[in-house]
């Protein structure tokens, strides 16, 4: 446990951050980070196919009118609105209405935190001003698109309404992001008032009643609390107010936290996104307080998830072992550890879960600098996150099925389901996870074409190249004066070798899989670095069925272009020998097997066509 003296020091530190947090040039950081991510404004995507995905997301973000986003909030507050309500899960009468607006706030804030956009800036201001008017009309700090009576039901029946705290979290997080990223003081005041409202409700409840509210072991629990703990720990880091810390702790369910501290796998049967977001809250607690039990819980959860519940691309969630709801028959839950081969329904790998898993990997890497977390992040970036978006239209999937045959069921723009919001937010943050740093070194974890402005060192780095379709990444350094630091280039676990050239001269480096190549020198304006990987094919089997596997080439998960089940002959060795690159652009592949020719392509390149991911060898 943290001593009182150490906790007081931490409050002083976050209090110092508070003085500057309204300035968009300063983002609160955590003293527990061994390697720090760069501020949102310091990393910009360069023109590439990844940038085109960001642009598709931006078009969706900007297509939504302020009055429509505000409609349900105004009606709930008793204010006049003649706007057309949003549809789907944002429709009037739907319990989650308002959740998407929170995601929209976060996405708009992150975009404006690094880009000048007069139209979007004006719309964000209009939405924040409109929400403030609703909050003032309530008069007690409350702000939501559904009435306060939903919380009355939750506190007496422990269910019966659709996850009011889940939605409240999204709104609070959106407002906090608006403040941190754009310096909007009004948004900061609003989120503090919302926290005070929640505090007032919680003060009236006994510990037992709060524990029952936070007990979420049922299928599709309607009392899902979202990331209330995470946003409140985040607010505490900005405000330094110990009341926010105390309030955040009320949303840490001990029944879930304690087994994870003890490294016990209790995931089977739990609703995946309900609980993975709680773990992101545990990570936020460790970042805010340095309490080791929260770090233990976070690291143990990640290991448990990846060891026994994750598919080859890092995604998870699917059918529940004990089916008691229609959804739990196919989707959204974790099953028994190590038993995945019979779970490949059309409803596995919920997008919300994938985004939250990736965020967890980022937190763990920043604490440790351990390459295995960078490995997981890269795998999910290319094979779980980017594939959820339509290449042509920018629409998103709720689930990312991995069986064969399967297809991506893209949601319509007006459905506004949970994954619509989490994808909108995640694709506004595609610039994150690329670079990290400490006082003496720069770490490159992803080879996404981008521009880094290392403000502290007055150094700019431009990353270009055709990665991952082409195994090359190139760096150009710009600096007004020489700067000495170590450039650390990530070598993923799949790499069969790598070569590094500095200003055209080959370097004597050791490129071990799942490590970093360090190049220490005094960097000058115009210095260039070229990194060349050697790719190979590999097969990743199910934990419970060696003959069922997914195909990878370098960092890319490949999918079969097929309308039928993928049944192969021979063994894994003969399958590997039958694989080849088809063409020169790195996007088409061929498998010759059992007298048949199978065509494959990267998962992120697959749009509305039928495909297969996991193939099965059957020799009878």
pTM for the predicted model, two decimal places: 0.95
Claim to verify: residue 470 and residue 505 sit in the same structural domain:
yes
Residues 6+ apart with CB under 8 A from 151: 164, 201
Residue 130 · residue 64 · CB < 8 Å: no
Claim to verify: residue 483 and residue 522 sit in the same structural domain:
yes
Residues 6+ apart with CB under 8 A from 324: 218, 219
* Each residue's pLDDT tens digit, 227-286: 999 999 999 999 999 999 999 999 999 999 999 999 999 999 999 999 999 999 999 999
Claim to verify: residue 555 and residue 608 sit in the same structural domain:
yes
Specify the DSSP class assigned to residue 84.
P
What pLDDT does residue 618 have?
97
Q: Partners of 460 in the beta sheet?
A: 453, 478
Residue 59 included in any domain: no
Residues 6+ apart with CB under 8 A from 510: 517
CA 339 to chain centre: 25
Parallel, antiparallel or unpaired: strands 483-491 and 441-444? parallel
Cα separation, 603 vs 526, in Å, equals: 36
Return the percentage of the chain with pLDDT > 90, whole number: 94
User: Is the predicted pLDDT of residue 11 greater than 50, yes or no?
Assistant: no
Claim to verify: residue 524 and residue 564 sit in the same structural domain:
no
Claim to verify: residue 565 and residue 493 sit in the same structural domain:
no
CA 482 to chain centre: 36
Q: The tokens of 576 are what?
A: 């590997």
Residue 110 included in any domain: no
Domain count, the chain: 2
Residue 342 included in any domain: no
Domain stops at, among 533, 561, 585: 533
Enclosing H/E stretch for 190: helix 185-203
Cα separation, 145 vs 154, in Å, equals: 16
Please state, in angstroms and as integers, the Cα–Cα distance from residue 246 to each residue in 167, 196, 236, following that order.
21, 12, 9
Claim to verify: residue 512 and residue 593 sit in the same structural domain:
no
Claim to verify: residue 519 and residue 561 sit in the same structural domain:
no
Residue 444 included in any domain: yes
At residue 28 the predicted structure's pLDDT band, cuts being 50, 70 and 90, is low
Claim to verify: residue 491 and residue 506 sit in the same structural domain:
yes
Claim to verify: residue 460 and residue 522 sit in the same structural domain:
yes
Give which of 270, 154, 171, 152 is closest to 223, Cα–Cα: 154
Residue 486 included in any domain: yes
Q: The tokens of 287 are what?
A: 């970042």
SS3 readout for 122-150: HHHHHHHHHHHHHHHHHCCCCCCCCCCHH
Claim to verify: residue 523 and residue 453 sit in the same structural domain:
yes
Domain stops at, among 499, 533, 567: 533
Residue 284 · residue 14 · CB < 8 Å: no
Residue 327 included in any domain: no
* Each residue's pLDDT tens digit, 45-59: 999 999 999 999 999
Please state, in angstroms and as integers, the Cα–Cα distance from residue 10 to each residue in 1, 27, 39, 238, 434, following that order.
14, 16, 21, 12, 28
Please state, in angstroms and as integers, the Cα–Cα distance from residue 148 to each residue in 130, 142, 175, 201, 215, following that order.
19, 8, 19, 11, 21
* Cα angle, residue 157 at apex, residues 151 and 162 outer, rounded to 5°: 55
Q: Partners of 450 in the beta sheet?
A: 45, 463
What pLDDT does residue 3 have?
39
Peptide bond into 121 cis (omega under 30): no
Domain stops at, among 533, 552, 571: 533
Please count the helices (runs of H) and the strands (runs of E) in the chain. 18, 21
Claim to verify: residue 499 and residue 528 sit in the same structural domain:
yes
Domain membership of residue 520 as a residue range: 436-533
φ/ψ of 18, rounded to 5, equals -55, -35
**Considering the chain, what is the average pLDDT of its residues?**
95
What pLDDT does residue 31 have?
87
Residue 113 · residue 104 · CB < 8 Å: no
What pLDDT does residue 6 have?
42
What pLDDT does residue 30 have?
80
CATH number of the domain residue 463 falls in: 2.60.40.1180
Residue 555 included in any domain: yes
* Each residue's pLDDT tens digit, 385-420: 999 999 999 999 999 999 999 999 999 999 999 999
Classify burial at 391, counting beta carbons within 10 Å of its beta carbon; exposed 0-12, middle 13-18, buried 19 or more. Answer: middle
Please state, in angstroms and as integers, the Cα–Cα distance from residue 574 to each residue in 66, 386, 581, 592, following that order.
57, 30, 16, 10
Residue 255 · residue 211 · CB < 8 Å: yes
Claim to verify: residue 454 and residue 511 sit in the same structural domain:
yes
* Each residue's pLDDT tens digit, 574-595: 999 999 999 889 899 999 999 9
φ/ψ of 52, rounded to 5, equals -65, -30
Residue 26 · residue 38 · CB < 8 Å: no
Parallel, antiparallel or unpaired: strands 528-533 and 596-602? unpaired
Residue 100 included in any domain: no
């Amino acid at each position: 446990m943290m001593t009182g003296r150490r906790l007081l020091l931490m409050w002083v530190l976050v209090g110092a951050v508070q003085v500057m947090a309204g300035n968009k040039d300063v983002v609160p950081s955590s003293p527990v980070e061994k390697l720090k991510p760069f501020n949102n404004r310091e990393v910009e995507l360069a023109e590439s196919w990844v940038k085109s995905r960001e642009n598709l997301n931006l078009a969706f973000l900007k297509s939504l009118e302020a009055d429509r986003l505000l409609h349900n909030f105004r009606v709930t507050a008793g204010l006049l609105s003649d706007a057309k309500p949003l549809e789907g899960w944002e429709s009037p009468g739907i319990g989650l209405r308002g959740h998407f607006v929170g995601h929209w706030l976060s996405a708009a804030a992150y975009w404006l935190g690094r880009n000048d956009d007069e139209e979007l800036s004006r719309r964000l201001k209009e939405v924040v001003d409109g929400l403030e008017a609703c909050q003032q009309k309530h008069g007690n700090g409350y702000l939501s698109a559904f009435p306060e009576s939903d919380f009355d039901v939750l506190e007496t029946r422990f269910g019966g309404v659709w996850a009011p705290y889940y939605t409240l979290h999204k709104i609070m997080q959106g407002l906090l992001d608006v403040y941190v990223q754009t310096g909007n003081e009004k948004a900061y005041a609003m989120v503090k008032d919302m926290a005070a409202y929640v505090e007032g409700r919680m003060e009236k409840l006994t510990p037992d009643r709060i524990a029952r509210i936070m007990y979420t072991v049922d299928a599709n629990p309607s009392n899902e609390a979202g990331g209330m703990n995470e946003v409140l720990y985040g607010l505490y880091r900005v405000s330094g107010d110990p009341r926010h810390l105390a309030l955040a702790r009320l949303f840490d369910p001990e029944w879930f936290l304690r087994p994870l501290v003890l490294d016990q796998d209790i995931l089977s049967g739990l609703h995946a996104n309900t609980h993975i977001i709680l773990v992101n809250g545990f990570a936020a607690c460790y970042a805010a307080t340095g309490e080791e039990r929260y770090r233990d819980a976070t690291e143990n959860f990640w290991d448990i998830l990846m060891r026994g519940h994750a598919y080859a691309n890092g995604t998870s969630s699917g059918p529940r072992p004990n089916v008691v709801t229609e959804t739990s028959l196919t989707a959204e839950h974790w099953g028994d550890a190590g038993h995945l081969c019979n779970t490949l329904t059309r409803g596995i790998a919920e997008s919300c879960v994938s985004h939250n898993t990736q965020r967890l990997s980022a937190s763990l890497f920043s604490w440790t600098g351990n390459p295995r977390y960078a490995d997981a992040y890269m795998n999910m970036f290319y094979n779980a996150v980017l594939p959820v978006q339509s290449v042509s239209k920018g629409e998103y999937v709720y689930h990312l099925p991995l069986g064969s045959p399967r297809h991506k069921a893209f949601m319509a723009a007006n459905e506004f389901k949970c994954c619509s919001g989490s994808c909108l937010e995640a694709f506004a943050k595609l610039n994150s996870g690329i670079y990290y740093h400490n006082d003496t070194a720069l770490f490159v974890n992803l080879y996404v074409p981008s521009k880094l402005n290392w403000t502290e060192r007055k150094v700019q780095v431009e990353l270009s190249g055709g990665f991952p379709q082409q195994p090359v990444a190139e760096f150009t350094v710009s600096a007004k004066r020489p700067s000495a630091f170590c450039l650390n280039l990530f070598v993923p676990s799949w790499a069969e070798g790598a070569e590094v050239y500095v200003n055209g001269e080959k370097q004597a480096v050791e490129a071990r899989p799942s490590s970093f190549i360090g190049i220490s020198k005094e960097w000058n304006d115009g210095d260039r670095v070229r990194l060349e990987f050697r790719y190979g094919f590999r097969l990743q089997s199910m934990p419970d069925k060696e003959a069922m596997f997914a195909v990878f080439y370098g960092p890319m998960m490949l999918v079969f272009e097929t309308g039928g089940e993928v049944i192969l002959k021979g063994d894994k060795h003969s399958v590997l020998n039958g694989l080849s690159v088809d063409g020169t652009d790195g996007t088409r592949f061929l498998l010759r097997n059992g007298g048949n020719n199978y065509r494959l392509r990267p998962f992120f390149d697959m749009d509305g066509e039928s495909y297969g991911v996991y193939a099965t060898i059957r020799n009878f």
